[in-house]
């Protein structure tokens, strides 16, 4: 392969297996792949039935999203390259049928694993099976792929958040990932939930704990061409597929929404000059697409390559946004362009102490919410805050 080959040229004839294609990052990723790399052969997309809808119904719903408007205008036939693979990452063998596994082994050249639960409050068993065991299952499948060029795992920049200066490397865990998978699936849920804090250690939630272990799983596969992408908090796009595109209250969008609504009024923030690390979704997807191209070029020119390749998708010390400015800007935006369904006049107070924050929450969140629901119930209306 020539060193000066372009990214679209690299993707000519490639077949990609994508998990998480129905999620926020996944939708932007598949749209960008199909639009910017027209020579792609196929995108095999893992999908499961959900909320009473089968995978074909979900596919129709997803591809009708505005995220695909530009692709539909420029090359609507590209959507035909998406081939659905029914499965569930939380299941053994990801719930993929033997027939579909053979298709993937025969056709796929690049794996992109984006699927995960991003909830910080998942029980350990759920987080382990979704964020950790799924990686092991996918690695087992990838080892049998005849023409695999890259295995891309999307992790998080906060997998080892407690490290003062996080480097582009995998930090070893004190636990063997296989042992944690075995433990999580053998112990009764009640027992597992009781001992979860012991296993988490410095990790404050099951999300970063399982993501860190998953990176260790990827690192131990020395013979696979592995890549780890580590985004920070992913927010709305800068330009692609549209300026400011977002389809859910992900990351920073949640704070902005509730602040402009007048609902979010108090924040515990000991260090008001602390930086917040947001990255636009199109930055992360562009990096994810470029990484296999870079990996393949390096393989052709460097016989002593070591894996995994690790890339952060974060702002770091560049163009830092401070938390205090972020909340101020959100408040000011809500006042300048108030939403139609605002609950209260936008106002946000930053507290250096927990006691001050808790008092503020009681006075400006809970008491008004209970009073509002009480009035609603008296009027025979539905209470909206007690949920």
- Split at pLDDT 50, 70, 90, the class of 288 is very high
- Split at pLDDT 50, 70, 90, the class of 50 is confident
Burial class, 242, CB count within 10 angstroms (exposed 0-12 / middle 13-18 / buried 19+):
middle
Once rounded to an integer, what is the mean pLDDT over residues 250-266? 84
- pLDDT score of 321: 86
Side-chain half-sphere exposure of 305, counting CA atoms within 13 A? 19
CA–CA gap between residue 322 and residue 382 (Å, rounded): 39
- The β-bridge relationship of strands 266-268 and 349-351 is parallel
Does 46 have pLDDT greater than 80? yes
Does 2 have pLDDT greater than 80? no
Mean confidence (pLDDT) of the chain: 91
- Split at pLDDT 50, 70, 90, the class of 106 is very high
Once rounded to an integer, what is the mean pLDDT over residues 184-211? 94
Once rounded to an integer, what is the mean pLDDT over residues 324-343? 89
Once rounded to an integer, what is the mean pLDDT over residues 177-202? 95
Does 21 have pLDDT greater than 70? yes
Strands (E), 208-293: 226-231, 233-235, 266-268, 275-276, 278-280
Once rounded to an integer, what is the mean pLDDT over residues 322-327? 90
Once rounded to an integer, what is the mean pLDDT over residues 360-368? 88
Once rounded to an integer, what is the mean pLDDT over residues 155-180? 93
For residue range 56-76, list pLDDT tens digits in order. 999 998 888 899 999 999 999
Once rounded to an integer, what is the mean pLDDT over residues 322-330? 90
CA–CA gap between residue 80 and residue 129 (Å, rounded): 31
In which residue are the tokens 């988490």 written? 200
- pLDDT score of 197: 94
DSSP label at residue 76: G
- Give the start-to-end residue ranges of the domains of the chain: 7-232+277-319, 250-275+322-387
Does 255 have pLDDT greater than 60? yes
User: 3-state DSSP call for residue 300?
Assistant: helix
Q: What residues have CB less than 8 Å from 364, skipping those under 6 apart?
A: 265, 266
Q: Which of the listed CATH numbers 3.30.70.20, 3.40.50.720, 3.50.50.60, 3.20.20.10 matches domain 7-232+277-319? A: 3.40.50.720
| Cα 127 versus chain centre, distance | 14
- pLDDT score of 1: 54
H or E segment and range at residue 385: none
């Amino acid at each position: 392969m020539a060193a000066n080959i372009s990214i679209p040229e690299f993707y000519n004839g490639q077949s990609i297996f994508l998990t998480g294609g129905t999620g926020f990052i996944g939708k932007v990723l598949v749209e960008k792949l199909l639009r910017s790399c027209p020579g792609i052969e196929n995108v095999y997309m893992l999908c499961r039935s959900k909320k009473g809808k089968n995978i074909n119904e979900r596919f129709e719903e997803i591809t009708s999203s505005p995220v695909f408007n530009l692709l539909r205008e420029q090359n609507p036939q590209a959507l035909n390259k998406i081939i659905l693979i029914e499965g569930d990452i939380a299941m053994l063998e990801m719930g993929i049928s033997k027939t579909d596994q053979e298709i993937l082994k025969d056709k796929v050249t690049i794996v992109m694993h984006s699927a995960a639960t991003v909830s910080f409050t998942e029980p350990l068993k759920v987080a382990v099976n979704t964020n950790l065991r799924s990686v092991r299952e996918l690695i087992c499948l990838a080892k049998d792929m005849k023409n695999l060029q890259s295995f891309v795992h999307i992790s998080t920049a906060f997998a080892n958040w407690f490290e003062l200066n996080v480097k582009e490397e995998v930090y070893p865990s004190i636990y063997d990932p296989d042992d944690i998978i075995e433990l999580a699936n053998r112990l009764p849920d009640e027992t597992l939930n009781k001992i979860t804090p012991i296993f988490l250690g410095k990790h404050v939630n099951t999300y970063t704990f399982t993501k860190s272990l998953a990176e260790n799983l990827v690192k131990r596969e020395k013979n696979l061409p592995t890549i780890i992408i580590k985004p920070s908090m992913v927010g709305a796009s800068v330009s692609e597929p549209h300026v400011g595109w977002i389809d859910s209250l992900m990351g920073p969008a949640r704070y902005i929404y509730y602040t402009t609504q007048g609902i979010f009024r108090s924040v515990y923030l000991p260090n008001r000059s602390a930086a917040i690390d947001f990255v636009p979704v199109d930055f992360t997807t562009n990096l994810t697409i470029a990484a296999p191209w870079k990996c393949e070029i390096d393989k052709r020119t460097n016989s002593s390559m070591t894996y995994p390749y690790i890339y952060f998708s974060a702002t770091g010390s560049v163009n830092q946004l401070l938390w205090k400015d972020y909340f101020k800007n959100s408040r000011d935006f809500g006042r300048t362009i108030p939403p139609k369904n605002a609950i209260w006049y936008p106002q946000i107070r930053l507290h250096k102490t927990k006691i001050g924050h808790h008092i503020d929450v009681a006075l400006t969140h809970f008491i008004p919410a209970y009073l509002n629901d009480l009035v609603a119930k008296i009027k025979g209306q539905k209470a909206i805050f007690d949920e």
